[in-house]
Each structure stands twice: as structure tokens, then as C-alpha cells.
Amino acid sequence: MSDTAMTTATASASATAATASERRINMIEAINEALDIMMDRDPDIIIMGEDVGYFGGVFRATAGLQEKYGKTRVFDTPISECGIIAAAVGMGAYGLRPVPEIQFADYIYPGLDQLISEAARLRYRSAGEYIAPMTVRSPFGGGIFGGQTHSQSPESLFTHVAGLKTVIPSTPHDAKGLLIAAIEDNDPVIFFEPKRIYNGPFSGYYDQPVQPWKAHTDSVVPEGYYRIPLGKARIVREGEALTVLAYGTMVHVTEAVCREKGVDAEIIDLRTLVPLDIEAIETSVKKTGRCLVVHEATRTSGFGAELSALVTERCFYHLEAPVERATGFDTPYPHSLEWAYFPGPVRIGEAIDKVLAE
């Protein structure tokens, strides 16, 4: 059934206008559907986490799954992130395929030792005899007024660790296909869900009403099983003026800025940070000669630094301007100055101008 799999970086579903018969769902529903389909296909898949069972998850991502698959396959855990992740590693080594949820990415740190020292390295140190085929789902990112402990974007902590894969969807369509691929993957995958866009894409203008997913063509999600392979980026829109690399929420903010400014940008949604679709990036930057990286995470040693280095290494002779980064500041995520922290339309706009100016 994987015939709908996309094997190359393709233009997104938004390129085709949706027809009335197409089914539109939000990102939570897409994630829920992916979990449901995989639970149905593979009895070794187990969901565990804080409030995921009885309550269906604080964001409702696991709603209805305990009723359907029972308490032995979908269950609540104590507030013990280290224990949750460690159990998933052990279950994975024994042949199961756990999909633990860490309620917010900010709570993943108690489990870091198990992720870094155990999950990421089991395959290597056992010379491939044992693996940890687990997918840690976790909502991440800010823009919800969550303050320091409910807003962080810690993806580069994980991309820095050899032995982990890091996946970040930006649409309902991709969330479903990527989650299915992540669950089927035989390596530990950190699946960060941009919670700001669970219910609708975000333009970066926090004072404007939220646009629901239903109005966006990428909410058209096929029923049933399909996978989007890890390591394949998506060209959100083609363009000639510059390449913008983004993922998660920032894909939508960038898109809105380019639309508003009338900039002919080529926007690439990375979808997975590790493995990275470097070919798609290289092809685009060689075409446009200019590159901007956008992420919400703090700047220093952020994933943007890696992207900037890669682009410089691979496309140096094609570049007409230095690679720019529009990122969060090097501060904890603030409580009351959230929008001063967030790399919104103004900062992205300025960065675009700078890349285009040279």
C-alpha cells in the first residue's frame, strides 16, 4: 500500500486545488490517524505516556485509541520521563515498536540520558544486534504563551547525537505520512510536533485570528496508509530569488512573509533534519545563489548553524551573498515577551532583504 509514497522532493499538495470531495483534517487528527493505522497493522506497536490513554492526550493526539486497542497497548504512565523512555528502549530491543509520548518537548530532559546513552547507541555498540525502533512523539515550539517550560525547540540537542533521527512535520498531510514512516523506521526517531500549528497554520501575526487547517490545501489527507520517507524535503513553493530553509511552524510564517513581500523565494520544508535532504538544498541554492535559514530555536549551535555550514561547503561558488539566519534569540523562552523572542515577520523580512541586497 506504500504506492502513494513520495520518493523525491515534490511540490506540495497545495499546488493542486482541493476539490469538495477531498477530506480535510487538522494536524492532531492526522497524527491520531497515523497512530490508529499503525496500531491496526502491527500488534507490536504500543503507545504510552502521561495522560495518553484514558484522557486521550493533552492535545488529544491519542484520543479514542485506548478504547479501540485496549489498555495493554495504549496506557497511561506515571510522570516519569526517564522511566518512559528507558522502558521504550528496552521494549524496542526486545522487538516491540513503542511510540511513547512526552507531553511537551520541554519535559524530555529527564529522559535524555536514556535517549543519548542508550537509545542512540544501542545499535552501534551491539554491532547491529540490538536496536531501539522507537518513535518519541513530542509537541514542541512556542507561540502559545507557554513560557520557558512549555515552548522550547530543542531539536538541535538531538540532531547533535549520532544514532537518532529527528523529524518535524509542518502540515497534516506530512504529519501523517512522516509519522507512519517514523514508526516503521528501525532507528529511534524524535518526532517533534509543532504545537502552534496543530489546529491551523500560523502567519506569524499573533494578533490575527487563527486560520483553521480546513482552509489550507495541505489539510487534504488521504485515508489509509501512506508514508513519506524520512530524509526527503518538500519544496513548498518554487522560486528564483533566494532559497529559504525552514521546518515546522516557521514554514508557514516564512510563506506568509514571502507572499506579503512579493518575494519569489524557493521555500524548502526540510521535514526531517536527520537524515537531511542535502540534495534538495544544494540543487535549490545552486539555482538561486542565495540562502536564508529560519528556525524558532535559539541561534547559537542551532540547526541553522549546521545548515549554514553545509550550504557554504557545498554551494560556496554559487553564493551571491552570505547565508543568513533568522532565529530565536539566545535567551530562555520568555513569559511576557514571547513575540519579542519569536522570529516573526519583521525579522524574517529583514533577513530576506539582507540576503537579497548583496
Partner 1 sequence: MAKTARQSATATTTPPTPGAGDNAEAFALRSLQDRLVANPRYAASDDELMHFYEQMLLIRRFEEKAGQLYGLGLIGGFCHLYIGQEAVAIGLQSALNPDLDSVITGYRDHGHMLAYGIDPNIIMAELTGREAGISRGKGGSMHMFSTEHKFYGGHGIVGAQVALGGGLALAHQYRGDGGLCLAYFGDGAANQGQVYETFNMASLWKLPIVFVVENNQYAMGTAVSRSSAETDFYRRGTAFRIPGMDVNGMDVLEVRQAAEIAFDYVRAGNGPVLMECQTYRYRGHSMSDPAKYRTREEVQEQREHNDPIERARAQLIERGQNEDALKAIDKDIRSRVAQAADFAETSPEPEPSELHSDVLVEEY
Ligand X SMILES: Cc1ncc(C[n+]2csc(CCOP(=O)(O)OP(=O)(O)O)c2C)c(N)n1
Select the residue interacting with partner 1 from 183, 341, 351, 355 (CB under 8 A). 341
3-state secondary structure of 285: helix
CA-angle at 234, arms to 312 and 287, nearest 5°: 45
What's the closest the beta carbon of residue 39 comes to partner 1, in angstroms? 21
What's the closest the beta carbon of residue 9 comes to partner 1, in angstroms? 36
Is residue 216 annotated as part of the catalytic site, yes or no? no
What's the closest the beta carbon of residue 251 comes to ligand X, in angstroms? 27
Residue with cell 537579497: 356
Q: Which backbone phi and psi does 208 adopt, to 5 degrees? A: -95, 150
C-alpha cell at 129: 544486534
55 makes contact, choosing from partner 1, ligand X, none, with CB < 5 to 8 Å by partner type, with partner 1
Question: Taking the CA atoms of the chain, what radius of gyration do you get in angstroms?
Answer: 19
Residue 79 binds partner 1, judged by CB under 8 A: yes
184 makes contact, choosing from partner 1, ligand X, none, with CB < 5 to 8 Å by partner type, with none
98's enclosing H/E stretch is strand 97-101
**What single DSSP character describes residue 234?**
E
193 makes contact, choosing from partner 1, ligand X, none, with CB < 5 to 8 Å by partner type, with none
Cα separation of 292 and 324, whole Å? 5
Residue 306 binds partner 1, judged by CB under 8 A: no
Residue 80 binds partner 1, judged by CB under 8 A: yes
**What single DSSP character describes residue 107?**
G
What's the closest the beta carbon of residue 79 comes to partner 1, in angstroms? 5
Select the residue interacting with partner 1 from 90, 222, 275, 334 (CB under 8 A). 334
Residue 54 binds partner 1, judged by CB under 8 A: yes
Select the residue interacting with partner 1 from 137, 150, 176, 234 (CB under 8 A). 150
Cα separation of 186 and 192, whole Å? 18
128 φ/ψ sector (left φ>0, alpha ψ -120 to 50, else beta): left
The residue type found at 1 is M
3-state secondary structure of 306: helix
Instruction: Assess contact for 164 and 188: CB atoms under 8 A.
Output: yes
77 makes contact, choosing from ligand X, partner 1, none, with CB < 5 to 8 Å by partner type, with partner 1
| C-alpha torsion angle, residues 170, 185, 32, 60 (rounded to 10) | -80
Catalytic residue of the set 150, 216, 252, 295: 150
Q: Which residues bind ligand X (CB under 6 A)?
A: 50, 79, 81, 103, 107, 110
- Residue closer to ligand X (CB basis): 44 or 51: 51
Residue 147 binds partner 1, judged by CB under 8 A: yes
76 makes contact, choosing from partner 1, ligand X, none, with CB < 5 to 8 Å by partner type, with partner 1
Which active-site residues does the annotation give? Answer: 150
- Which residues in this chain contact partner 1 in the complex, by CB under 8 A? 50-51, 54-55, 58, 76-80, 82-83, 106-107, 109-110, 144-150, 329-332, 334-337, 340-341
